[in-house]
Structure 1
Amino acid sequence: MANLQLTHAPILNSSAQLLILPVNTAGTLLDPILTRAKTLFPDNYQRYYRACRDGSLSAGSCLLHKRTREQAGLGISSNGNQPSYIANLVISDHPYHPTRTRWLTDALIDLHHQLIPLVRYHGIRRAALLARPLIDNRLRSNMSNSSNEPLSKNFSVGSLSFNEPNVANSLPLDWYLDILPLLRQQLQDLPKLRIDVHVPKSIDIVS
Structure 2
Amino acid sequence: MSDIRKLTTKIVEDAQKKQAHLIEEAEKEIAKKERIKKQQLEKEVAAHLARYEKELQKELSLKVSDLHVKSRNRMLAAKQQVLDELFADAKEQLQNITAEDFDAFVERKLALVQLTGTVELVFGSKSAPLVSETMIQRWQAQFEPDLTIQVAKETIPNRSGVVFKQGEVEFNFIFEALLESKEEELSYQLIAFIFNQE
TM-score bucket (shorter structure): under 0.3
Question: Highest CA radius of gyration, 1 or 2?
Answer: 2
Which structure shows the higher strand fraction?
1
Q: TM-score, normalised by structure 2?
A: 0.25
Q: TM-score, normalised by structure 1?
A: 0.24
Which structure shows the higher helix fraction?
2
Q: Whose RCO is larger (CA < 8 A, sep 6+)?
A: 1
